[in-house]
Structure 1
């Protein structure tokens, strides 16, 4: 019997090899870990090696994801033209801005070309097991872990952290590797927050939320509960308050998705951005605390600190905006670019109602994440997220897949003529 996967092949009948696709996703997940090991035990690394690794991963994803359909080439051409225009209008050549937005395009196209949710299930499970295994290794044998993976030394070598910013109280871990106040999830585990393969706990928690969202939308997946357990385990090990809250809010969004029109999600991040601007300009609050209200105040301050030229993506200045994805996005590609990219994401068609529910959950995750971080652009978690999104959009509805899997002669006469 011919499989449903064969019947949903694209026009040229080709799909990226599954082992190569899985290897690429695992590589995006773990290449920083490999470079950290290299820097700690073999030789020094630098930012050029990090950027080169990312370029190789993104280029491979594009190579595998681009087929004979002309639409992706048009999207790439428009994006590159817009990026070239911005760089021509400001005295700054910033390849990072191009890289940030090529990641979602490349891995979304890769997911669309694979369009097999079973392969995405395997990618989620394998990635989850790797993250939890490394997280437990770090948590249970920290001295051995930092002997081979000196995280802060790696971030200094790649230029992300200045030597003067290294804190003695976190040792070889990243600055957020120890919770300065009480742990939120399972307090008896102590202040240590597992960084796992991501080398910092924030991405570990974000990864856990992504896995949870995927499992929420894949009720028929094999080993669903094991996969979901890896996501929840990543959230607990990293003591990610954000990840736990995303799981709750995304579940509510999933329940409401069939009743919310598309334009609501199109407007959502810009509604939040407008609220942040109003809050930043009108609030008289000056004290800041490490909680949700404090982070909200801080991101509002960052948004309102942008100059008019920065709002349109034309400022040559590159201030520290990593604590606000909204401010960072405006400074990188401007308001017009942000509207364009978000519109493309929301209005890209899906082949099933379930895919729309997953897209709503992803939109919820992105809108919340940009309140506190620009890590939505980090390939460590973004590669899997956008691969899952592309696969979800391209995968046929379950009922349609069952029909295409049946021999034509076995179908009712009113379906056999190709009316489905």
Structure 2
């Protein structure tokens, strides 16, 4: 009887702990999606938001994940990766004579959030959660597109971006009606030109991340075994891409569609795992020092920077930061963290054990998204607005053994 009570109490404790973790996971994801819009509203109507307040918000949210991680169950492989991230950062500070907490934060997020997703008890199914996020993004996006004056009453995006250091004061003079600089396609809209030149950013406040979110929900929809069950997400993905007039999103969604239906699963996985190297080879082929806002030159400048790196930069040991690599994610990652750690983390990503074929497909498609994004964008793949949702979804699809994710 005593043994039964002990087991019963342990089971009750584990259930309560799992509920608390899952509740926090839901809070974290909604906060990640909406906190920038909330602070923009506050900046517009109440008081100025500072970059340090944004950083503090992210620290608080991630600290909550760390607290659950410490309580366990701990994945030794994920703990080892976290230790490696901190050790690498400590070593580089000595040589670079500069410390940027973003380098730690960027690489901590996937590790911690994948673990969080692996422990999630499906209180609300991941599928339903992503639908809620999609409803919010499209609903706010439609208000912005159809009733821009109403959207501007709540959100003065350009002033918020200036306050938080995402834009300079002079940008206010060139922005249209309080929207961000990339809120207008000055050369004319690429997708459905009759819709006008405005590009929707919804709760993300930036069209880049709006487009990235569109590709993410396309990955989720395309991963479904029964494609009919994924049609909502695929259709929504194209809607998001059109609202944002995102060339990257529309192009990549089309490529993912082709890969999903033409390649067998094993070939899709191999293509995904090799995609960073294949894309980098293409960047080297397009090698160009010219920095312009189009696909070809963004890819070419990525190749140009990396092929002109000094040996020290490949180890992250350079203390001369001559560029922030705004549109060159591979160069940004290598220059500031070294090549070794990203390679280890990519290998670890490839080794993640998925519970179903749907999980394997999602991981493969998302891997292509990560690889492609790093070639044309500096740090949007590390954005706290949509990236935690992606890593969380991945975590929910892992094989679980004794409630601890393998891999």
TM-score using structure 2 length: 0.86
Does residue 308 (structure 1) correspond to residue 311 (structure 2)? The answer is yes
Change (3 A) 1:65 1:228: farther
Change (3 A) 1:88 1:195: same
Pick from 34, 47, 51: which aligns with 2:38? 34
Bigger Cα displacement from structure 2, 252-261 vs 306-315: 252-261
Structure-2 separation of matches of 1:300 and 1:228 = 32
Asked whether the 8 Å contact 2:269–2:364 carries over to 1, the reply is no
Q: Name the SS of the counterpart of 1:15 in structure 2.
A: helix
Q: For residue 245 of structure 1, what is the aligned residue in structure 2?
A: 251
Structure-2 separation of matches of 1:187 and 1:65 = 48
Does residue 334 (structure 1) correspond to residue 338 (structure 2)? The answer is yes
Bigger Cα displacement from structure 2, 15-24 vs 93-102: 15-24
Pick from 58, 66, 73: which aligns with 1:62? 66
Pick from 47, 59, 65: which aligns with 1:43? 47
Asked whether the 8 Å contact 2:144–2:151 carries over to 1, the reply is yes
Structure-1 separation of matches of 2:363 and 2:24 = 25
After superposition, give the CA deviation of every residue in 1:127-175 in whole Å (9 maximum; x if it has no partner).
1011111111111221221222111111111112221344424331111
Q: Name the SS of the counterpart of 2:339 in structure 1.
A: helix
Bigger Cα displacement from structure 2, 32-41 vs 159-168: 159-168
Structure-1 separation of matches of 2:138 and 2:225 = 22
Change (3 A) 1:274 1:216: closer
Does residue 156 (structure 1) correspond to residue 156 (structure 2)? The answer is no
Does residue 84 (structure 1) correspond to residue 90 (structure 2)? The answer is yes
Q: For residue 212 of structure 1, what is the aligned residue in structure 2?
A: 218
Structure-2 separation of matches of 1:117 and 1:183 = 41
Q: For residue 25 of structure 1, what is the aligned residue in structure 2?
A: 29
Q: For residue 380 of structure 2, what is the aligned residue in structure 1?
A: 375
Residue 395 of structure 1 deviates from its aligned partner by: 6.8
Does residue 353 (structure 1) correspond to residue 368 (structure 2)? The answer is no
User: C-alpha root-mean-square deviation of aligned residues, in Å?
Assistant: 2.7
Residue 104 of structure 1 deviates from its aligned partner by: 1.1
Does residue 147 (structure 1) correspond to residue 153 (structure 2)? The answer is yes
Alignment of 1:162-173 (within 5 A): 162-173=168-179
Residue 185 of structure 1 deviates from its aligned partner by: 1.7
Residue 287 of structure 1 deviates from its aligned partner by: 5.8
Pick from 300, 312, 331: which aligns with 1:297? 300
After superposition, give the CA deviation of every residue in 1:321-346 in whole Å (9 maximum; x if it has no partner).
12011111112211101101111111
Structure-2 separation of matches of 1:183 and 1:395 = 46
Change (3 A) 1:91 1:156: same
Q: Name the SS of the counterpart of 2:338 in structure 1.
A: helix
Asked whether the 8 Å contact 2:318–2:335 carries over to 1, the reply is yes
Bigger Cα displacement from structure 2, 78-87 vs 212-221: 212-221
Gaps spanning 5+ residues in structure 1: where? Answer: 1-8, 397-420
Asked whether the 8 Å contact 2:273–2:367 carries over to 1, the reply is no
Pick from 100, 115, 120: which aligns with 1:114? 120
